[in-house]
């Protein structure tokens, strides 16, 4: 039965409900509106067909809703409900996992409490003993890259002379100057500089290829230097690669070395300094500068002395709407009145200029045309006709099609149409007209002309700007050449009513860019009745590529696909075709962020004569790169994007429709260097329904960092109130979820006040949870691996994706082998081992061999290495560690301590294995009741099939909801002790067996810590506590964070509480007085905690999985946790055993990467 249910759920995604596209779009919009509403249930109207109800069920499951059909016949309705989650509590005291300290740990505790008994000294008084007035002022080494250059007029003149001299002497520079003068933006130089001079905010809407990104900063610099004035021009870019590459390009255009007059600063990496007049940076970097300056005052206006060095802020690509850009716009808008000297320049290729201008009080807009060659566009209707042939046509097997019968309308139908057109045109009442044209669907209705005015439904839609409905009629064969009684056509009515988008579509239609033959409509109807338009049709793609190759002799083909799976499937489909077998005729390249960099670079190479380049890419090719020999673009209209569902508090990684702005960018890829053709594999109706722009990032990601930044900017400000000032504020649920996490890690108090720890958690350029992990790692003498884990969490997965099917198993085995070096139960430890082995292989001259054998990206590892150095520098600069960082990593290879460090970074993302009632495989339950599977890419995937995993705990980075449910991709199995030490709260309840049934039936958050429980962390007292803790050997129930249950003794819980209190005090003391030594009681307690973790940190974890090779087992047994060990005999050079031990294990210091 369980298997049948699983198969039924999977079949739901394989089936394609036969629903027309207009209805698909309508149902999708209804569900999106329901998700954004506060309603718990939505009921669709009766009358949906079986196929339409099936589509509702399919979409609901994908969006995390529960759906159910009820009723009979014509009254059958489908209702959709938001899932209320409930986590199970304990299942009987005897079945709970037992926590107790080992004998070794008890000895350590005995020694600690003999010297420093519980209650000895007031820990919190020690933290505050110096008071705010005498607290150590952290002497930071100033990062002056954002300070104004200190140059006199003579020095400026000398730099201008040097630039002129270079231009005259270097032939290459002369050519660059000539090319710059030909850019479309060159003729706007004076207009831009004069407008910037006279207005605080200027908006530059520059089409792709106009040159705005590289030229505007130079226009301003040359203008300021021409007046003999110094300036600091800070230019933001949404991505690291853009910030570095643009800075390099500007430097090259001025004949300079990067880091002189032009520099850059990205997270954990920088070039240049105070003397750099132009600084490129990511938006997040500049945001931290603004916030760090503002955190010293509750009023933004008081930042003047700190950031007055910046004269110009240029925010490029603002149409991408990343979370930092939106947040920073709100900050800058508030502070501009206090900075009359500061100029803000907003730039983008595709932008809602009016909206941004209004946000800044009606600032001037400069529109710069771009230079692209003409691109002819086709849509799905056209493509189906283009590829139609008798041979190898997948449509031949279909039988259903829409029949169109010609008939005369009845008088009743004519009266209904007259009334519907009147209501729509005069009162904007659309239901009747939409129902008539969509239900009947005949040309007689599409082209019906009002008996008095002669107006058609198409004219009504065009005049009112209802583009989606208008395109629906056009795709169904509506005649746009008909004229009303006053002689006006639909196009003329659209122009008269000032509906430019509708007019543009009608113009294209009249110019025969749209083909609306009956034959094509039949093909489209037939196709959509058998193919789910939300899935990528690789058969159609292969047919279209083949047709392009047959009908033309050269020109690269770029195919936009949602993700790696679709790239792989398309690649395999092409290789399986006899037409593409000859590798000398076709150069097939995959472009994805996780493809090895050497493979990515092939995309820029021109193929030899007679060879066709075919590029299969994600949306990375939309804006990040330009491939100059692309002539043909195939746009599937889909993208796979990581998003966040605040209502269910899960991340989502699903394929979704692109925006109109993205569609325009994809079209433009075909016309960058020559005329091209773009094939959109979606209908015109779908194209018209696409959103204008992508959903702003601030509304689709977790926002813990932003909420913390708000408090750092103004501690007295309400988070929700400030974020409400942004262009598109995040929803309340997103803010609430972020605040809860910040409270759980100690950054916010229960009343949302910024804590002292919270102030410090915002001082480093990493997520607050990761910052907390670093502080904990310093106290535990386990900093080196924490640096790697911190940087890896901020960067992409360092493992590459294999191209060939036979390599996939090898890649999985390689990752598992790396993870085995740290116990075999952690994806995060696989990354840690990969970095350690890579670092040592580099020293041994075996880097290329290691990266190839273990599918590790060399470029990612080099990036991690650089990020580690920068992060270590930040810790030193803030005073958290000394210049000699080696003394903070004595326990770098201790498994128990390492697991605790990881818990500190990932908490509160905690789950436990529970049996799956619908199958043999264990699933993971989380604190809010989610039941989640492990992703098959996780190194722990096979672990979920083992027996006896009940109550085994894991920590994970995020839950992702994909097309077939929720899963966890990166996780590590952990023991009980790290969580009991680092969780938000622990409580105790009596070990009374009679309470079990009551707990099972109604155990809820309210019960824990109230009537049945007593919060140990609270300073409570009374008979209940005395009774529970009166005898050291009393058995008690321990409740962690109100959902995880353990059984233990009163003495163990009391000692645990004491350790928790001392750990919290030590962390706060360390961040408050970073250069001071810990007081003796704290220092002794931190040493004891590290020893106890070394003994007991992994208790509760399953044994290492079977099948680990002998060599790996020897590495674990002989070396882990024993830095100086050299028990191995002769080993092959480059083996994991040698790589993990090489040099790094000869001392206990951190890696020198």
CA distances from 422 to 425, 428, 456 (A): 5, 9, 11
pLDDT score for 229: 93
Return the number of other C-beta atoms located less than 10 Å from residue 465's C-beta: 16
On the question of pLDDT at 973 being above 50, the answer is: yes
Q: What rounded mean pLDDT belongs to the chain?
A: 80
pLDDT score of 350: 65
Structure tokens, 108: 């350590």
For residue 955, list its beta bridge partners. Answer: 910, 972
DSSP E strands, 165-217: 201-206
Confidence of residue 1026 (pLDDT cuts 50, 70, 90): low
Three-state DSSP at 203 gives: strand
Structure tokens at 821: 């070096």
Per-residue pLDDT tens for 551-577? 888 899 999 999 887 888 898 889 888
| pLDDT tens sequence across 216-259 | 999 999 999 999 999 999 999 887 777 888 899 999 999 998 98
Q: Tokens 């649920």 label which residue?
A: 733
Q: Is the N-terminal amide bond of 908 cis, ω within 30° of 0? A: yes
| Integer Cα distance of 216 and 222 in angstroms | 10
Beta-carbon count within 10 A of 154 CB: 9
CA distance 65 to 56: 10
Place of tokens 């991505």: 239
- CB 146, CB 310: distance < 8 Å: yes
Structure confidence by residue, pLDDT tens digits, 923-935: 898 888 888 888 8
Task: Report the pLDDT value the prediction gives residue 883, as an integer from 0 to 100.
Answer: 84
Q: Could you tell me which residues are beta bridge partners of residue 987? A: 1015, 1039
Q: Quick: pLDDT tens for 646-689.
A: 666 666 667 889 998 889 889 888 877 788 899 999 998 888 88
Pairing assessment for the beta strands 676-680 and 630-635 based on DSSP bridges: parallel
Predicted confidence at residue 353, as pLDDT, reads 78
What does R_g of the chain's alpha carbons equal in angstroms? 32
Are 205 and 366 spatial neighbours (Cβ–Cβ below 8 Å)?
yes
pLDDT (tens digit per residue) in 868-887: 888 898 899 888 998 888 88
Q: Which of 403, 402, 422 shows the shortest CA–CA distance to 414?
A: 422
For residue 1024, is pLDDT > 80?
A: no
Distance CA 516, CA 683 (A): 11
Residue 1006 · residue 1043 · CB < 8 Å: no
What's the whole-number mean pLDDT along residues 381-400?
56
Mean pLDDT lowest for which of 397-401, 862-866, 1106-1110? 397-401
Angle in degrees, CA 324, 326, 330, rounded to 5: 110
* pTM value > 0.95: no
Q: For residue range 255-276, list pLDDT tens digits in order.
A: 998 989 999 998 767 888 888 9
Whole-angstrom CA distances from 945 to 2, 811, 948, 973 are 16, 21, 10, 14
Percent of the chain clearing pLDDT 90 (strictly above): 28
Confidence category of residue 615, pLDDT binned at 50, 70, 90: very high
The residue-averaged pLDDT of 1012-1028 equals 44
Residue 597: per-residue pLDDT: 57
| pLDDT confidence of residue 713 | 86
Structure tokens at 443: 């040309």
The 10s digit of each residue's pLDDT in 152-203 is: 999 999 999 999 888 888 888 888 888 899 888 999 999 999 999 999 999 9
Residue in 836, 817, 827, 812 with CA at minimum distance from that of residue 1114? 817
What are the backbone dihedrals phi and psi of residue 534, each rounded to the nearest 5 degrees, phi first? -90, -5
Q: Which contacts (CB < 8 Å, 24+ apart) does range 851-854 have? A: 853/814, 854/814, 854/815, 854/817, 854/818
Count CB atoms within 10 A of the CB of residue 38.
8
Q: In this predicted structure, what is the pLDDT of residue 793? A: 85
Contact 462, 429 (CB under 8 A): no
Residue listed under structure tokens 């470029």: 859
Secondary structure class of 873 (helix, strand, coil)? helix
741: exposed, middle or buried (Cβ count in 10 Å: 0-12, 13-18, 19+): buried
Q: Can you tell me the distance from the alpha carbon of 159 to that of 319, in angstroms, rounded to the nearest whole number?
A: 35
Look at residue 1117 and give its three-state secondary structure: helix
Tell me how far apart the alpha carbons of residues 63 and 67 are, in angstroms, rounded to a whole number: 11
Q: Are 163 and 254 in contact (CB under 8 A)?
A: yes
> Mean of the pLDDT values across residues 453-458?
88
**Which is nearest to 292 in space by CA: 872, 780, 765?**
765
Does the bond joining 273 to the residue before it have cis omega, within 30 degrees of 0? no
Residue 560 token pair: 């936009």
In this predicted structure, what is the pLDDT of residue 1114? 31
pLDDT at 120 over 80: no
- Residue among 267, 271, 163, 284 at smallest CA distance from 218: 163
Please say if the pLDDT value at position 444 is more than 90: no
Beta strand pairing status for 269-271 and 262-266? antiparallel
Is residue 354 over pLDDT 90?
no
d(CA 60, CA 79): 10
CA distances from 307 to 146, 150, 289, 383, 715 (A): 8, 15, 8, 55, 19
Q: What pLDDT does 171 receive?
A: 82
Report how far apart, in Å, the C-alpha atoms of 82 and of each of 31, 38, 63, 87, 659 are: 11, 10, 10, 16, 27
For the cut 70, the answer to whether the pLDDT of residue 488 exceeds it is: yes
Highest mean pLDDT among 130-144, 648-662, 975-989, 1115-1129: 975-989
DSSP collapsed to 3 states, 604-651: HCCCCCCCEEEEEECCHHHHCCCCCCEEEEEECCEEEEEEEECCCCEE
Q: How far apart are CA 1063 and CA 70, in angstroms?
A: 56
* C-alpha dihedral (998, 1004, 1010, 1011), degrees to nearest 10: -10
Q: Phi and psi dihedrals of 845, rounded to 5?
A: 75, 25
Supply φ then ψ for residue 633, to 5 degrees. Answer: -120, 130
From CA 56, how far away is CA 79, in angstroms rounded?
A: 9
Token digits of residue 454: 């002669």
Judge whether 898 and 887 are in contact, CB under 8 Å: no
Q: 1063 is written with which tokens?
A: 């750990």
Supply the DSSP string of 977-1000, one letter for each residue.
Answer: HHHHHHSS-EEEEE--GGGHHHHH
Backbone angles phi, psi at 69, to 5 degrees: -100, 145
3-state secondary structure of 961: strand
| Residue position matching structure tokens 């005049």 | 463
Give the model's confidence band at 1092: pLDDT under 50 very low, under 70 low, under 90 confident, else very high.
very high
Quick check: 1001 pLDDT over 60? no
1003-1019 tens-digit pLDDT: 333 332 333 333 344 33
Q: State the Cα–Cα distance between residues 332 and 76, nearest whole angstrom.
A: 54
CA distance 689 to 687: 5
């Amino acid at each position: 039965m369980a298997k049948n249910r699983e198969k039924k759920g999977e079949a739901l995604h394989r089936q394609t409900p036969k629903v027309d596209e207009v209805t698909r779009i309508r149902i999708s919009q209804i569900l999106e509106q329901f998700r954004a509403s506060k309603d718990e249930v939505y009921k669709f109207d009766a009358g949906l067909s079986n196929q339409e109800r099936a589509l509702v069920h399919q979409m609901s499951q994908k969006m995390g809703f529960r759906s159910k059909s009820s009723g009979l016949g014509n009254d059958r309705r489908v209702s959709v409900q938001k899932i209320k989650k409930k986590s199970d509590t304990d299942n009987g005291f005897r079945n709970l996992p037992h926590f107790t300290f080992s004998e070794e740990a008890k000895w350590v505790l005995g020694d600690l409490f003999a010297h420093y008994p519980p209650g000895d000294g007031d820990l919190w008084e020690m933290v505050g003993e110096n008071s705010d007035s005498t607290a150590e002022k952290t002497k930071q080494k100033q990062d002056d890259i954002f300070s104004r250059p200190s140059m006199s007029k003579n020095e400026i003149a000398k730099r201008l002379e040097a630039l002129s001299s270079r231009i005259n002497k270097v032939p290459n520079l002369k050519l660059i100057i000539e090319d710059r003068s030909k850019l479309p933006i060159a003729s706007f130089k004076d207009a831009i500089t004069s407008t910037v001079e006279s207005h605080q905010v200027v908006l530059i809407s520059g089409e792709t290829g106009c040159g705005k990104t590289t030229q505007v900063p130079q226009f301003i610099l040359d203008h300021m230097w021409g007046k003999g004035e110094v300036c600091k021009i800070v230019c933001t870019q949404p991505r690291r690669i853009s910030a570095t590459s643009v800075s390099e390009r500007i430097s090259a255009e001025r004949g300079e070395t990067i880091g002189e007059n032009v520099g850059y600063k990205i997270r954990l990496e920088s070039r240049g300094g105070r003397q750099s007049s132009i600084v490129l940076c990511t938006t997040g970097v500049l945001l931290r500068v603004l916030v760090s300056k503002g955190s010293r005052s509750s009023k933004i206006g008081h930042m003047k002395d700190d950031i007055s060095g910046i004269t110009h802020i240029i925010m490029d690509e603002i149409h991408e709407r990343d979370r930092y850009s939106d947040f920073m716009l709100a900050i800058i808008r508030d502070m501009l009145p206090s900075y009359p000297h500061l100029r803000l320049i907003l730039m983008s290729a595709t932008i809602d200029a009016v909206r941004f201008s209004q946000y800044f009080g009606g600032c001037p807009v400069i529109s710069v045309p771009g230079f692209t060659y003409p691109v002819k566009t086709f849509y799905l209707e056209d493509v189906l006709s283009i590829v139609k042939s008798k041979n190898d046509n997948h449509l031949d097997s279909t039988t259903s099609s829409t029949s169109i019968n010609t008939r005369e309308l009845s008088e009743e139908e004519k009266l209904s149409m007259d009334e519907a057109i009147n209501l729509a045109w005069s009162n904007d009442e659309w239901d009747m007209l939409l129902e008539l044209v969509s239900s009947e669907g005949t040309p007689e209705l599409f082209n019906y002309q009002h008996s008095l005015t002669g107006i058609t439904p198409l004219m009504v839609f065009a005049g009112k700007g209802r583009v989606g409905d208008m395109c629906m009629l056009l795709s169904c064969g509506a005649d746009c050449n008909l004229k009303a009684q006053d002689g006006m056509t639909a196009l003329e009515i659209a122009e008269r009513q000032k509906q430019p988008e509708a007019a543009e579509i009608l113009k294209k239609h009249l110019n025969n860019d749209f083909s609306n033959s009956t034959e094509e409509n039949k093909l489209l109807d037939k196709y959509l009745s058998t193919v789910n338009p939300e899935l990528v049709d690789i058969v159609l793609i292969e047919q279209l590529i083949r047709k392009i190759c047959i009908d033309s002799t050269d020109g690269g083909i770029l195919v936009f696909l949602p993700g790696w799976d679709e790239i792989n499937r398309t690649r395999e489909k092409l290789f399986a075709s006899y037409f593409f077998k000859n590798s000398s005729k076709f150069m097939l390249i995959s472009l994805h962020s996780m493809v090895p960099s050497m493979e990515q670079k092939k995309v820029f190479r021109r193929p030899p004569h007679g060879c066709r380049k075919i590029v299969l890419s994600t949306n990375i090719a939309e804006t990040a790169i330009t491939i100059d020999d692309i002539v043909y673009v195939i746009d599937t209209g889909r993208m796979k994007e990581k998003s966040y569902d605040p209502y269910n508090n899960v991340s989502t990684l699903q394929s979704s429709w692109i925006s109109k702005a993205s569609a325009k960018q994809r079209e433009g890829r075909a016309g960058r260097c020559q005329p091209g053709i773009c094939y959109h594999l979606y209908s015109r109706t779908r194209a018209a329904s696409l959103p204008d722009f992508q959903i702003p990032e601030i509304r689709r990601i977790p926002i813990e960092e932003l909420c913390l930044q708000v408090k750092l900017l103004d501690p007295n400000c309400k988070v929700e109130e400030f974020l409400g000032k942004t262009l598109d504020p995040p929803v309340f649920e997103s803010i609430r979820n972020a605040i809860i996490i910040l409270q759980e890690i100690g950054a916010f108090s229960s009343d949302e006040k910024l804590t002292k720890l919270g102030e410090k958690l915002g001082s480093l350029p990493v997520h607050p949870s990761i910052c907390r992990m670093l502080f904990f790692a310093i106290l535990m003498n386990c900093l080196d691996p924490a640096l790697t884990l911190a940087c890896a969490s901020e960067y992409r997965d360092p493992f590459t994706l294999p191209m060939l099917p036979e390599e996939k198993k090898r890649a999985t085995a390689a990752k598992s082998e790396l993870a085995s070096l740290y116990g075999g139960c952690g994806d995060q430890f696989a990354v840690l081992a990969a970095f350690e082995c890579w670092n040592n292989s580099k020293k041994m001259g075996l880097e290329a061999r290691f990266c190839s054998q273990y599918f590790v990206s060399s470029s990612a590892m080099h990036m991690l290495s650089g990020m580690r150095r920068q992060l270590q520098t930040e810790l030193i600069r803030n005073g958290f560690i000394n210049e000699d960082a080696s003394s903070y990593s004595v326990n770098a290879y201790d498994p128990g301590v390492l697991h605790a460090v990881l818990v500190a970074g990932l908490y509160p993302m905690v789950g436990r294995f529970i049996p799956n009632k619908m199958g043999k495989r264990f699933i993971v339950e989380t604190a809010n009741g989610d039941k989640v599977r492990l992703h098959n890419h996780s190194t722990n995937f096979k672990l979920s099939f083992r027996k006896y995993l009940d109550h085994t705990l894991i920590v994970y980075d995020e839950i992702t909801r994909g097309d077939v449910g929720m899963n966890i991709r990166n996780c590590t199995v952990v023991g009980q002790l790290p969580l009991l030490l680092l969780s938000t709260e622990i409580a105790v309840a009596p070990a009374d067996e009679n309470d079990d049934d009551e707990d099972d039936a109604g155990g809820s958050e309210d019960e824990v810590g109230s009537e049945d429980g007593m919060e140990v962390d609270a300073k409570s007292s009374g008979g209940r506590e005395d009774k529970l803790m009166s005898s050291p050997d009393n058995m008690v129930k321990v409740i962690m964070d109100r959902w995880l249950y353990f059984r233990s003794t009163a003495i163990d819980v009391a000692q645990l509480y004491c350790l928790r209190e001392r750990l919290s005090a030590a962390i706060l003391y360390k961040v408050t007085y970073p250069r001071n030594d810990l007081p003796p009681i704290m220092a002794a307690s931190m040493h004891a905690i590290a020893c106890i973790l070394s003994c007991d940190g992994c208790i509760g974890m399953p044994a290492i999985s079977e099948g680990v090779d002998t060599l790996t087992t020897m590495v674990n047994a002989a070396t882990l946790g024993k830095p100086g060990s050299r028990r191995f005999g002769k080993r092959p050079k480059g083996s994991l055993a040698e790589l993990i031990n090489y040099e790094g294990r000869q001392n206990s210091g951190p890696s020198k990467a």
